[in-house]
A = this chain, B = another copy of it.
């Protein structure tokens, strides 16, 4: 697939193409975490997102049954236009289909949540080169000791991703990502991981990466937080994107800057 056009890419996903990661696709466009769940629990989830905006910044939210969310992309069908999905049953991953049209129900409510790809793009535009880019890996992920504000059965501690940055870049990264509150915004913590219950040697996801002597660990709230809240809620049924295979919207990252 040569195109960088989100419409073309979504059409290719719909036709069955299922790349493992969307990280390098459609440069400059907003990619999003996807969550869909029955209306019975969607209101609690909406409240959970509203109360935890750093972890769960809502880019778009559907009305029950809506497969097209306004403003997210031309003909963007949530049930067919992601590369792969993860179906959750009783709070655990069950299936990983490339299409959920058969599973979609009239009461399903879809959410698109901001993703770190967007703020990483902004850091790249400022000339930073994040170390995990070179290896094509993911930044390490940690569960903090900071509780989310719960809503209904949605609860859990904030999950963070960590990027090692030299101090001057860390300061610049605070400035830049503060302008992007819809995609996790400013870092949640910097420099002293033990204060947020994190041992850098014991990650809870992502890939291995440690700060060097001239770097500080910089932590951002992470889109894995809502997934963790889904597990905690033990919903009978929910659907998300497959990790790394995000929803590609028509929006430009640059347009998200406040």
B-contacting residues, A204-237, CB 8 Å: 214, 216
Which of A10-18, A67-75, A119-127, A190-198 binds B? Answer: A190-198
Q: Let me know if B171 and A192 touch, CB within 8 A.
A: no
**Chain B neighbourhood of A186, CB < 8 A:** 171, 175
Dominant SS at the A interface?
mixed
Copy count, this protein chain: 2
Size of A's binding interface in residues, CB under 8 A:
18
Asked if A105 is at the interface (CB within 8 A of a chain B CB), the reply is: no
Using A186-B171, A186-B175, A189-B167 as known contacts, say yes or no to A195 and B216 having CB atoms under 8 A apart. Answer: no
Asked if A174 is at the interface (CB within 8 A of a chain B CB), the reply is: yes
Known: A168-B189, A190-B216. 10 other contacts (CB 8 A): A167-B189, A167-B191, A167-B192, A170-B190, A171-B188, A171-B189, A175-B186, A178-B178, A190-B190, A190-B191
Residues of chain A at the chain B interface (Cβ within 8 Å): 166-168, 170-171, 174-175, 178, 186-192, 195, 214, 216
10 contacts between A and B (CB under 8 A): A166-B195, A167-B190, A167-B191, A167-B195, A171-B174, A171-B187, A175-B186, A190-B190, A191-B191, A195-B214
